[in-house]
Amino acid sequence: MTTEEALGDLRIANQKIVKRHRYPCGMEEGVDVKDDRARTFFNSPDGQNGELYYELRKLKWGNAKWQAEYYWAVWKENKQIEYVEGDIYITEHKKI
Residue 66 belongs to what H/E stretch?
A: strand 62-68
pLDDT at 47: 85
Q: Tell me phi and psi for residue 25, to 5 degrees.
A: -160, 170
**Each residue of 36-49: pLDDT tens digit?**
678 888 989 888 99
Using alpha carbons only, what angle is made at residue 95 by residues 83 and 56, rounded to the nearest 5 degrees? 35
Give exposure, 50-76, as e/b (b: 16+ Cβ within 10 Å): ebbbebbeeeebeeeeeeebeebbbbb
Q: How confident is the model at residue 94 (pLDDT cuts 50, 70, 90)?
A: confident
CA–CA distance from 6 to each of 3, 22, 24, 68, 77 (Å)? 5, 26, 23, 22, 10
Q: Which residue segment(s) compose the domain that 46 sits in?
A: 3-92
The number of folded domains in the chain is 1
Q: How confident is the model at residue 33 (pLDDT cuts 50, 70, 90)?
A: low
Q: Which of 56, 58, 60, 59 is nearest to 73 (CA)?
A: 56
